[in-house]
Amino acid sequence: MDVFAYGLLLLTLSKCVVSKSPHIVFIVADDLGWNDVGFRNPAIISPNIDYLAKNGMILNNSYVQPVCTPSRNAFLSGFYPFKSGLQNFVIVPWAPSCAPLNRTFLPQTLKELGYATHMIGKWHLGMCKWECTPTYRGFDTFYGYYNGKEDYFNYTIFNHTDFRDNKEPTRPYDYSTFNFVANKYAYARRADKVITQHNKSQPMFLYLPFQSVHEPIEVPEIYENMYKNLKNEGRRKFSGMVTALDDAIGNVTDSLKRNGMLKDTLIIFTTDNGGSPTYFGNNYPLRGGKTTVYEGGTRATSFVYGSGLQKPNTVFDGRLFVIVLRMIHAVDWMPTIISAAGGGGQVRGIDGLNMWPSISKGVPSSLRSEFIYNLDDSLVPMMGHAAIRMGDYKLIEGFAGVYNGWYSVPENETATEKDDPKEDYYQLYNLRDDPTEHNNLYTKERSMLKKMKERLEEYKKYIVPPVSMKPDPASNPNNYNGYWTPGWC
Ligand SMILES: *[C@@H]1O[C@H](CO)[C@@H](O)[C@H](O)[C@H]1NC(C)=O
Ligand SMILES: *[C@@H]1O[C@H](CO)[C@@H](O)[C@H](O)[C@H]1NC(C)=O
Ligand SMILES: *[C@@H]1O[C@H](CO)[C@@H](O)[C@H](O)[C@H]1NC(C)=O
Ligand SMILES: *[C@@H]1O[C@H](CO)[C@@H](O)[C@H](O)[C@H]1NC(C)=O
Ligand SMILES: *[C@@H]1O[C@H](CO)[C@@H](O)[C@H](O)[C@H]1NC(C)=O
Ligand SMILES: *[C@@H]1O[C@H](CO)[C@@H](O)[C@H](O)[C@H]1NC(C)=O
Ligand SMILES: *[C@@H]1O[C@H](CO)[C@@H](O)[C@H](O)[C@H]1NC(C)=O
């Protein structure tokens, strides 16, 4: 066979593989709580999210990190934050640091599998040099911002603009998510463009980490007005933000449908961490919130929908004695998505496990029965904590985080349970009997405590030094026409 014919054969073979690969839309909501969606809380209007969740598979034991940067690093690299120097907190705009560059990111592997790769939304994995940014880490296109949060209307953080179309500074003309009145929208409009222009003979990967519903608490009035019944203004606006997010998601599925792609698309939805009680997020009845290793900070609202799911309309939950059979952790998304994309079995050398065989077939698996919530070796700002899950048991060592009570839905004016109890240095919970972490068993179950402490110590050997958060004056956007811009580390 001559080289040309061989090349054609390879092309044909690769086409066969490629044609089986689904389009994948990976949606990440920001700071969305356990109880902030309509399918759990009837006070929230989120028909599109509810439809996808109920007709797909709700992942009822899906875990993430307590804050943004570490979760996003886990999603894209398959590594725990404590092995990436990202265990302490988020990357701030003036830090000369980013997620380790020596790791293969999810879109890089998907490109090798023939995917077109696009990103719309929030990066938050560092931006001090171009090599840290999305279009250098596997994305063909990028539309969004590099830092952790910003104003929804003027796209500024600390008075300077952070918004790009690929590498070019730009500024969308309206609310980040969707403006119902003006029928103008930034991210949903871009998603529609990406989907419409996509060459359908190729599989598409769209990473869509929305700005919503992170603070600042801002939303076009029409969304707030949908919640006139709520007395609490912050919660009213926050709920409107969830509905704006939901509309944008509806816009994306509409676009996929219009372009004949929806039936071949796998949609994955997760939050990056729990809701923040300070900013009207809600995780009730789970304990704690964003920044804590309690379930309210780490047990994610998450579901999958669409192509490849053999048992839709189900909930991924359940256990056999102490073995939790349907659990997934943030580090698992990278290998799981690669497998869904046709990239084979387990990715070697990472922390993530391939959960796709279990999720796609809807069958139990004990593969993921242990994980690390976090190993934070700092004193500030998270103040140091370690937590591990083994089967139904969870051990927390040290300060679990500032929100350590149970914050019931703010729309319910009569709800009471809000106490911030003082906790012991060790907290041991059996989450099967006590998913809301009320009963500390550490004095009662000494042998379990010992076993879990020992396991935690083994993991601690792998902690790498945290990345630098030292403010670098060279980051000053005044050096770059007022835009937060890479190129100073
Ligand atoms: C999901 O988890 C919650 C909280 O532990 C529990 O109350 C609920 O029954 C679970 N749902 C299913 C279908 O297992
Ligand atoms: C990659 O970076 C991480 C985090 O800085 C480090 O722990 C690891 O040793 C590096 N790996 C290689 C192969 O250099
Ligand atoms: C933003 O600019 C305003 C007015 O110039 C100033 O008062 C404020 O301190 C600035 N905020 C930050 C975070 O720099
Ligand atoms: C952006 O909007 C916020 C909130 O309305 C405001 O505080 C800030 O000063 C604005 N920044 C600029 C640069 O317009
Ligand atoms: C779409 O991709 C196929 C295969 O790579 C190519 O042959 C075709 O020309 C492309 N179509 C357009 C409109 O670019
Ligand atoms: C986006 O969603 C809004 C609200 O449902 C709707 O009014 C608008 O027509 C949608 N736009 C597109 C392009 O789907
Ligand atoms: C409000 O909270 C109380 C106490 O938790 C509960 O008994 C009541 O059913 C809740 N009401 C609504 C409307 O959710």
User: What is the model's pLDDT at position 412?
Assistant: 60
pLDDT at 324 over 90: no
- Best residue for ligand 1 mutational test, from 35, 40, 60, 324 (most atoms within 8 Å of Cβ): 60
pLDDT at 320 over 90: no
Residues assigned a catalytic role? 68, 124
pLDDT digits (tens, 9 = 90+) for 337-347: 999 999 988 99
Distance 157 CA to ligand 3 centre (A): 10
User: What is the model's pLDDT at position 418?
Assistant: 58
State the pLDDT confidence band at 9, using cuts at 50, 70 and 90. Answer: very low
User: What is the model's pLDDT at position 447?
Assistant: 97
pLDDT at 149 over 90: yes
pLDDT digits (tens, 9 = 90+) for 451-486: 999 999 999 999 999 999 999 999 999 999 999 999
pLDDT at 252 over 50: yes
Name the maximum alpha-carbon separation found in the chain.
78
* Domains in the chain, CATH or no CATH each: 3-368 (3.40.720.10)
Q: Which residue has the higher pLDDT, 322 or 471?
A: 471
Distance 198 CA to ligand 5 centre (A): 10
Which letter does DSSP use for residue 299 in this model?
B
Nearest CA to ligand 2 atom 4: 84
Ligand 6 neighbourhood includes 264 CB (under 6 angstroms):
no
User: What is the model's pLDDT at position 184?
Assistant: 57
User: What is the model's pLDDT at position 419?
Assistant: 60
User: What is the model's pLDDT at position 182?
Assistant: 47
Distance 264 CA to ligand 3 centre (A): 48
Q: Residue 89 and residue 67: Cα distance in Å, rounded?
A: 7
State the pLDDT confidence band at 18, using cuts at 50, 70 and 90. Answer: very low
Q: Which residue has the higher pLDDT, 409 or 373?
A: 373
The percent of residues in the chain predicted with pLDDT above 90, rounded, is 80
Ligand 7 neighbourhood includes 412 CB (under 6 angstroms):
yes
Structure-token match 């090349």, residue found: 7
User: What is the model's pLDDT at position 3?
Assistant: 39
Q: Which residue has the higher pLDDT, 179 or 4?
A: 179
Structure-token match 């539309």, residue found: 143
CA end-to-end distance (rounded Å), the chain: 51
pLDDT at 107 over 60: yes
State the pLDDT confidence band at 1, using cuts at 50, 70 and 90. Answer: very low
Nearest CA to ligand 6 atom 4: 247
User: What is the model's pLDDT at position 177?
Assistant: 74
pLDDT at 16 over 50: no
Closest by Cα among 72, 101, 412, 3 to 235: 412
Question: Please, which residues have CB within 8 angstroms of residue 406's CB and are 6 or more apart in sequence?
Answer: 284, 285, 286, 287, 296, 417, 418, 419, 436
Q: Find the range with the poorest average confidence among 16-20, 21-25, 170-174, 436-440.
A: 16-20
pLDDT digits (tens, 9 = 90+) for 119-145: 999 999 999 999 999 999 999 999 999
pLDDT at 422 over 80: no
User: What is the model's pLDDT at position 17?
Assistant: 41
User: What is the model's pLDDT at position 141?
Assistant: 98
pLDDT digits (tens, 9 = 90+) for 154-175: 999 999 999 999 999 998 877 7
Distance 416 CA to ligand 7 centre (A): 9
Question: Please, which residues have CB within 8 angstroms of residue 249's CB and are 6 or more apart in sequence?
Answer: 27, 48, 49, 52, 269
User: What is the model's pLDDT at position 407?
Assistant: 85
Q: Which residue has the higher pLDDT, 63 or 322?
A: 63
Can the peptide bond before residue 381 be classed as cis, meaning omega within 30 degrees of 0? Answer: yes
Q: Which residue has the higher pLDDT, 230 or 417?
A: 230
Q: Which residue has the higher pLDDT, 447 or 380?
A: 447
**In Å, how far are 174, 186, 226 from 182, measured between CA atoms?**
9, 12, 17
Contact 210, 203 (CB under 8 A): no
Q: Residue 341 and residue 424: Cα distance in Å, rounded?
A: 45
Q: Residue 101 and residue 131: Cα distance in Å, rounded?
A: 8
pLDDT digits (tens, 9 = 90+) for 33-88: 999 999 999 999 999 999 999 999 999 999 999 999 999 999 999 999 999 999 98
Nearest CA to ligand 1 atom 14: 317
Q: Find the range with the poorest average confidence among 48-62, 208-222, 369-383.
A: 369-383
Q: For residue 322, give both structure tokens.
A: 């102490």
- pLDDT averaged over the chain? 90
Contact 137, 105 (CB under 8 A): yes
Helix (H), strand (E) at residue 448 = helix 446-460
Q: Find the range with the poorest average confidence among 170-179, 272-281, 381-390, 405-414.
A: 405-414
Q: What is the pTM of this model?
A: 0.93
